[in-house]
Amino acid sequence: MTFTGLSLVQIAAVFGAATMAITGLYLLRMRRRELVVPFAALWQQVARESESRRIWRRLRRVASWLVQLAVVAFVCFALGDPRPSTWVDEPETLAVVLDGSASMGATDPESSETRLQAAIGRTQAELATLGPRDRGMVVFAGARPRVPVPLSHHPTTRWLDPLRPEASDGDLEAAIALARHALAGQPNPRVVIVSDLALASRDQTALSWCRPDVACSVATVSGDAPNVAITSFAARRYPFDRARVELLAQVQNFSDQTVETTLVVRSNDVDLIARPLELPPEEPVHEVFFDLDVAHGRLEAELRHTGPHAGLRVDDRAYAVVPPTRPVHVVLVSDGTDLFLEAALLSLEDHVRLTALPPERGGPEESAIATADVVVYDVGDRPLPERLPDTALIVFDPHRREDSPVPVMPLRTIKRPRITEIERSHPILRDVVLKDVNMHRATAFRLEPGDVPLLRHLGEPIAVLRDTESRLLAIGFDPRASDLPLRVAFPVLLANAIDHFHRRSPGFVAAVTTGAAQTVDTAQVGLEVTDRTTVNVLAPDGTVAEATTVQGTIRFRVDSPGVYRLQTAEGHQAEVAANLADPAASDLRPTIDAAALGPALAGESPDPVPVRDDPLWVLAVGLALAVLLGEWGTYHRRRTV
C-alpha cells in the first residue's frame, strides 16, 4: 500500500489534532435546560435516574465520541490517497497464451472439469492481477490462433467461457508469435503460456523461447493421462460385389495398462458390429471387417467403455464414407496374338478398365502402367521389360527367355505337364475347375518363404503367388500353348486374381484428419468436376464454405469430426469423412517434462489485486459518510444524546 497524497506522518498529525479537538468538545460541560414546574419534589422523583441508566448515559457519550473519531480516521485516510503498489508501479502488459489443442478436452474424473476449464480459471487469475494502468490480452492457440480477449486496460474474461478445445493439435508456435507481435513496443511485456504440455513436436521447440530473461513463464494444468482412441477408420467396396464393403479400424491404448472396451460399427443408426477388444499398452490393434452388407453410405465407429473413462471423447468416434465403385485399372502388355486373354479381360465389363500396350511400352515409366492397379504380361517370344513396375503383376510364362526380370526363380522346364494338385482353398482358385488341362510345356518354380503354390505338377509348383510387397502371380505356361483359354475357368481365374490383388491393395478411402486444410482427390471421392470449379463444402455443424478445384483436387479446412458434403452448382455431390485420427493428438501424456522448464515454470495461481478500479480514498469518504448518516439517525432517535 502506498500513500500518494499526504504522507503517513502528515496523516498522523492531522488525525492527532482532530482527535484532540473532538475530545475537548466532548469534555465541555453540557448546559442543562431550565424548566418551570409547579411542584419540584414531584418532578425530582420522576426524573431521578437509576444507577444502570446513569452508567449507560456515560457509555453512550463514549460511543458517540468513538464514532466521531472513526469519521476523522476515514477522512484522514482519504487525504492520504492510498493506492495498491500495483497502481503506482510501472505499467505492465500481459499476454496469456491459452493452449486449445485436443488434449485440453480431457476430463478429470474427480472434478468433472476439463483441462481447458482449469486453464481458463488460471487465465482469469492471471488477468485479475492487473492494475488499472496495466493492459492484458488472451491468445487462444487453436488450429488457427485467435484473440478472444483483445489488448485493453479492462480485459473481459467472460469471452473465455464459450471456448472449446479444437479437434486437432493447436498451433502453439503461431499463437506465441502472435502474442510477441502484439506486445512489441509495449511497456514491461510479459507472456504466460497455460498448457497441459501434451504438445506436438513443432510446439515443443516453440516453448524454448520461453525463458525468464524474456519475461515468459509456463503455467501447467494436468489430469489423468490414460486414453483410448480410434486412430484409423476407412472403408472400401469390393469391385466385383458392389453391395458389400470391407472396413479397416485401428484402435490404440495410450496407457501402461491393458484396457478392455467394445468397438461398435453403425450404419444408419443400426449396429452392424460389436467386437470386444482387449488393448495391450501402447500397441495399436488393427481390426478388419470383411463382406459387410451396407446399404447406407455413411459408417460410424464408436468405442463403448465398460467403466469410467477419463480420456478424450472426441477420439472415441470415427466416421467413414463408403466410396463409389471405381473400376480396376488393368493394363495388358501383350504382343497382340492372344485374343483369348484380351477377350477374357473384356468380359469383366465395367468392373475393369482395360488398357492394352505393346511389349516395348511395358516398363514402369509408362504413364498408364504407373497408374495401373494390375498389370498382365503375356508377351510370347518378346522380352519382358528390364525392370518390372511396383504394382500387382500377373505374368504368363515368365522364364521363356533367360534374361527375365521376374523374381520367382525357375527350377526346371517340364514337357507336357499335367495339373495334379490344386490349392482349392485359395480365393484365386475359387470356382475354378482345371481338370484335364493340356499344356505343351511349363516352368517349375523354386519356392521361397512366403510363396503360395497354387498349381502343381507331381509336387512341383507351376503357378506361384508371391503375395508380399511385390504382389506377383507367376503362371509357368503360355496360354497359347494350352487349352485353358477355351475353358470357362480362364476368365474366372483372371477375375479372381484381379479381385484378390485389389483387396490386398491399399484401396481404402480413409477419412481426412481435422485441423489444417486437407487436400482431397475429387476422382477418389466420386465428384465429377473440371478444373477451377467452385465447390460448396457443407460442414457437419451446417456451416457452408467455398473451395475451388485445382488439377483434380480440392482443398478445404476441417475443423471438427464428421461427414462433409461437397456439392457443385451443377448438382454433383460427394461426401468426405473427417476424424481426429492423429495418434499424437490422442496421447494425453506430457511430451515435455515440467521440471525441464526450470525457472520458466510458473508457480501457483497469483493473488488478485485488492481493488481493481476505483481509488481507495473514494471508499474511505464513502465510509465516513455512512458513519455520519448512522450518527444522524441515532441522534434523532435520542440514542447518542
For 213, residues 6+ apart whose C-beta sits below 8 A from its C-beta are none
Q: How far apart are the first and last CA of the chain?
A: 38
pLDDT number for residue 508: 62
> What's residue 161's pLDDT?
86
Provide DSSP, 571-595. Answer: S-EEEEEEE---HHHH--S-SS-GG
Q: Give burial (CB, 10 Å; 0-12/13-18/19+) of 61.
A: middle
Q: What is the spatial distance between Cα 635 and Cα 624, in angstroms, rounded to a whole number? A: 16
Burial class (CB in 10 A: 0-12, 13-18, 19+), 637: exposed
Closest Cα partner for 138 from 171, 197, 173, 179? Answer: 179
Is residue 192 within 8 A of residue 602, CB to CB? The reply is yes
CA dihedral 353, 359, 364, 368 (to 10 degrees): -30
- Distance, in Å, from the CA atom of 585 to the CA atom of 372, rounded to the nearest integer, reads 35
pLDDT given at position 499: 84
The residue written with cell numbers 473532538 in the block is 22
Question: What is the number of other CB atoms lying within 10 angstroms of the CB of residue 273?
Answer: 17
Residue 332 carries which side chain, given as an amino acid letter? L
* 566 phi and psi angles, rounded to 5 deg: -105, 130
pLDDT at 51: 47
- Rounded to an integer, what is the distance from CA 213 to the centroid of its chain? 33
The pLDDT of residue 185 is 86
User: Is 189:215 a contact under the CB 8 Å cutoff?
Assistant: yes
Cβ contacts of 253 within 8 Å, gap of 6 or more = 228, 259, 279, 280, 281, 282, 283, 285
> Cell match 496407457: residue?
255
CA 231 from centre of chain: 11
| Structural domains of the chain ordered from first start | 2-30+37-81+616-636 (no CATH), 87-224+590-597 (3.40.50.410), 234-325 (2.60.40.10), 328-504 (3.40.50.880), 511-579 (2.60.40)
Phi, psi for 625 (deg, rounded to 5): -65, -40
Specify the pLDDT at position 74.
73
Pairing of the two strands 146-152 and 451-457: unpaired
Whose CA is closest to 300, among 227, 228, 230?
A: 230
Instruction: Write down the pTM of the prediction.
Output: 0.63
pLDDT along the chain (641 residues), means of 10: 69 79 66 62 57 51 73 74 64 91 82 87 89 88 89 86 83 89 88 88 76 78 83 81 82 89 89 90 88 79 80 87 80 91 85 90 92 92 91 94 91 93 91 91 93 94 86 93 92 90 67 79 76 87 87 84 88 85 80 79 75 60 68 58 50
Q: Report whether 333 contacts 358 (CB < 8 A).
A: yes
